[in-house]
Chain A
Amino acid sequence: MAVCIAVIAKENYPLYIRSTPTENELKFHYMVHTSLDVVDEKISAMGKALVDQRELYLGLLYPTEDYKVYGYVTNSKVKFVMVVDSSNTALRDNEIRSMFRKLHNSYTDVMCNPFYNPGDRIQSRAFDNMVTSMMIQVC
């Protein structure tokens, strides 16, 4: 469903970004980058500690004519940004949530790997597989 999935670190640099190789992926990169502002805005608006998972899910960040961008932030300020195609008969919010949950779980697994240094780009094959599964669904 997603055409682009990105994992952004706390310092707002990408840990992992992958998009369906359709057109220029740069456009997706740019969208993700611009969405970070919205994410920060939502985070600051939240205020209280992001404990409740509902708060982790930011929902639709902003829609464009072709795509919709959804956001999700973890308690450690690691952000997941997902760009989905608007043409997809609107994905249910629950589905987006579940996708983010899977992302979060996979990300946690990557973190658990002692060979992974936080801050490195995510190169886990398992993570890649999971993301691929999510993206293939879409396309």
Chain B
Amino acid sequence: MEGLTLSDAEQKYYSDLFSYCDIESTKKVVVNGRVLELFRAAQLPNDVVLQIMELCGATRLGYFGRSQFYIALKLVAVAQSGFPLRVESINTVKDLPLPRFVASKNEQESRHATSYSSDSENQGSYSGVIPPPPGRGQVKKGPGSHDAVQPRPSTDQQEPASPVVSPQQSPPTSPHTWRKHNRHPSGGSSERPLAGPGPFWSPFGDTQSGSSAGDAVWSGQSPPPPQENWVSFADTPPTSTLLTMHPASVQDQTTVRTVASATTANEIRRQSSSYDDPWKITDEQRQYYVNQFKTIQPDLNGFIPGSAAKEFFTKSKLPILELSHIWELSDFDKDGALTLDEFCAAFHLVVARKNGYDLPEKLPESLMPKLIDLEDSADVGDQPGEVGYSGSPAEAPPSKSPSMPSLNQTWPELNQSSEQWETFSERSSSSQTLTQFDSNIAPADPDTAIVHPVPIRMTPSKIHMQELELKRAGSDHTNPTSPLLVKTSDLSEENKINSSVKFPSGNTVDGYSSSDSFPSDPEQIGSNVTRQRSHSGTSPDNTAPPPPPPRPQPSHSRSSSLDMNRTFAVTTGQQQAGVVAHPPAVPPRPQPSQAPGPSVHRPVDADGLITHTSTSPQQIPEQPNFADFSQFEVFAASNVTEEQDSEADKHPEILPTEKASDPATSLRIAQADGKIEEKTAASVPANVSKGTTPLAPPPKPVRRRLKSEDELRPDVDEHTQKTGVLAAVLASQPSIPRSVGKDKKAIQASIRRNKETNTVLARLNSELQQQLKDVLEERISLEVQLEQLRPFSHL
């Protein structure tokens, strides 16, 4: 850039402009925002402006130094004069008129200024700075400006109100537009809602030397750009403010920005900033807000805590109620802190309010945190549409900005979802409680209601183990590492094998239990468990791994609870629910011979179920126990033995099996009747000794024991088998996907399976109930017999 030679007038004018733009009082660099506005006020096409900027070197430097600024101004003048923009033109063009800024207003102002220069009114001062109105011609410019400048200082002290007045006194020639701008009704949002800087500038114009006044003038006169409304703002309500400020500014002869001096003025100015839409924040305003934000929180990406914000905004002297409302509007994420965008929105609302604008009910879209995105401030995520959750969801205006849309949309979604969550959580919680067998929660789910303590898994008897292994061999279950997977696979298999009974959690539990039970053979166990659950059931004690979170095992719980609960209830002190369930379960088990295969499976399943149930005190146990009576009985027996000690010692293996069966039978038939137990025990060993298949013995011994119940046994056996099957199925089924986060498909599939299982179990349940009734009748008859035999019943 070659040296720039400026005339005196130019020099003065430029320095005034520079001061105007130098809101930070750096005296070195002007704020880009201001400069841009200034250039816009020059009414030059954008490309010209860009060219100017580039020529003056600002683009290169990234900021406007004094020299760059002056050069730019000169180029503006050149452009306005119609000369081509050239670097050389800076100095070559002679008699270049001072760059004109701000459309008509400025011109008008300048015109007035020149015309009234003699008036020693501030207007003159204004005009002094501003190039003489076009009408006046350039002739005046030089001298006019000088003159204006000279008189201005003299007039500076005069009526502080003049700045305010002058704009309004549009001279006859003043364009109406200008007048309009100046006068736009206070609070007239229709025009320029917020002419923020107006007041600010007026003071400037007023007090400052002519240059500053000039600045103010033309700044005030920048009507064209809507944002210049601030200027007009001066005419608007804040007039009073201006007036008050004038006195102060009057004394301030320096061209210092009032900005620095009057924070409130700034605020007011901000308020009066013009927007295209009433709530839009201009760049300058935004810059101001950002600066204020920095004073509180240096990190632009950080938060301003509520207390600091409160202090800051209290300074604006707005009523607390209004500040509270502003806070509600601006704090998007309701976190009690303001991010940069929130702060700008809040500040903007304060300015608006001070200007007389009513606060909106909802945050205007232009103030939504989307600004953050545009401003690339952090915490966009924070702000996103938390549009007053407390407020109606309608308050979540659909954000237009790209970033906000998602945010705002998510907010309404969140709102809705939160409400949905509310219900959902209710449901889920209730369901969870149900599954967890929370007595408090009304068991809407019969399964849950049915669920009774999972029968404790008896120590896996070797027999059962063998059975399990057999089952496992049959099944090709995958590793139970993933209960769900196992269950699903098992379930599928089970479905094939059994009716497509969906087995909810039970399977999973079984899976777990099985895995637990057979640490050495986890895979097998798992497979077995899934199907036979009983395995796991048997070995719960052994491995004692905590069963997986109790899954709602409707089927399990149902089946088991129906029968088991009662029986179990009878037998107190059952080590585990499952175990307990076993004893009370239908004592007579269907003959194992009936369906050796399936029974084998089933009993195993039952056992597994039982074990599972035992391990997972809920749902599952019932099923397994229920299903796998034989095994269950065995388990129960073993469990019972464990707890009861008495018999277990004798026949660790046999008894367990016997016990398993015994509990069901003995308990029912002769709970306190040791004889029967003994009988059963005796019979059990005999039965056991038979050495039938592991599965068979349990039911058989039971049956044997209860000779009178032989007929029942088959039923029981059937039951066992059925239950076993069911248990297996259930076990195989992955537990009901409690976690919402599970794969939806898997969940739905499991839900389907569970439903199927439920239906099957329901059927089974009804059948078993029927059998139960029969068995009970038998029991009653037996008891009567006992009574006869023993007149003094210990019961």
Contacts and interface: CB of A to CB of B under 8 A. Distances in A.
A binds B: yes
A114 B422 CA distance: 27
Contacts of A139: none
A108 B391 CA distance: 12
A110 interface: yes
B336 A112 contact: yes
B61 interface: no
Given A94-B426, A97-B422, A105-B418, A126 B388 contact: yes
A128 to B, nearest CB: 9
A115 B422 contact: no
A98 interface: yes
A105 B323 contact: no
Interface residues of A, number: 24
Contacts of B440: 54
B395 to A, nearest CB: 7
Contacts of B375: none
Interface in A92-139: 94, 97-98, 101-102, 105-106, 108-110, 112-116, 123-127, 129-130, 133
A37 B391 CA distance: 31
Nearest to B321: A123
B419 interface: yes
14 contacts: A94-B426, A94-B427, A97-B426, A98-B423, A102-B419, A105-B390, A108-B334, A112-B336, A114-B306, A114-B327, A115-B310, A125-B391, A129-B392, A129-B395
Contacts of B392: 126, 129-130, 133
Given A94-B427, A112-B336, 12 more contacts: A54-B440, A98-B426, A101-B422, A108-B334, A108-B390, A109-B334, A113-B306, A113-B331, A114-B307, A114-B327, A115-B323, A126-B391
A94 B423 contact: yes
Interface in B491-512: none
Contacts of A116: 324
B390 A110 contact: yes
A43 B50 CA distance: 71
B328 A124 contact: yes
B586 interface: no
A94 B429 CA distance: 11
The dominant DSSP class at the B interface is helix
B335 interface: yes
A109 B426 contact: no
Contact of A98 (B328, B361, B422): B422
A106 B392 CA distance: 10
B320 interface: yes
A115 B320 CA distance: 6
Nearest to B305: A114
Interface residues of B, number: 31
Given A105-B389, A114-B306, A114-B336, A126 B324 contact: no
B325 interface: yes
Secondary structure of the A side of the interface?
Answer: helix
Contacts of A112: 306, 331, 334-336
Interface in A64-107: 94, 97-98, 101-102, 105-106
A50 to B, nearest CB: 15
A101 to B, nearest CB: 5
Contacts of B335: 112
B61 to A, nearest CB: 42
B309 interface: yes
Listed from nearest, the 10 A-B pairs whose CB atoms lie closest are A114-B306, A109-B390, A126-B391, A115-B324, A126-B390, A114-B310, A106-B390, A98-B422, A112-B336, A126-B388
**Residue from A97, A108, A114, A130 having most chain B Cβ neighbours under 10 A:** A114
Contacts of A123: 321, 324
Contacts of B426: 94, 97-98
A129 B391 contact: yes
Given A97-B426, A102-B419, A112-B336, A124 B310 contact: no
A59 to B, nearest CB: 12
Nearest to B327: A113
A109 B324 contact: no
Nearest to A54: B440
Contacts of B331: 112-113
A98 B390 CA distance: 14
A133 B392 CA distance: 8
Interface string B408-431: 000000000011001100110100
B328 A125 contact: yes
Contacts of A108: 334, 390
B126 to A, nearest CB: 41
Nearest to B427: A94
A11 B361 CA distance: 32
A136 B110 CA distance: 60
Interface in A42-67: 54
A135 to B, nearest CB: 13
Given A97-B422, A102-B419, A106-B390, A124 B324 contact: yes
A98 B419 CA distance: 7
A124 B334 contact: no
B261 to A, nearest CB: 28
B390 A127 contact: yes
B59 to A, nearest CB: 43
Residue of A106, A110, A125 with highest tally of chain B CB at under 10 A: A125
A101 B423 CA distance: 10
Contacts of B389: 105-106, 109
A117 B463 CA distance: 72
Given A94-B426, A114-B336, A109 B328 contact: yes
A109 B388 contact: yes
Contacts of A54: 429, 440
B419 A126 contact: no
Contact of A124 (B325, B336, B423): B325
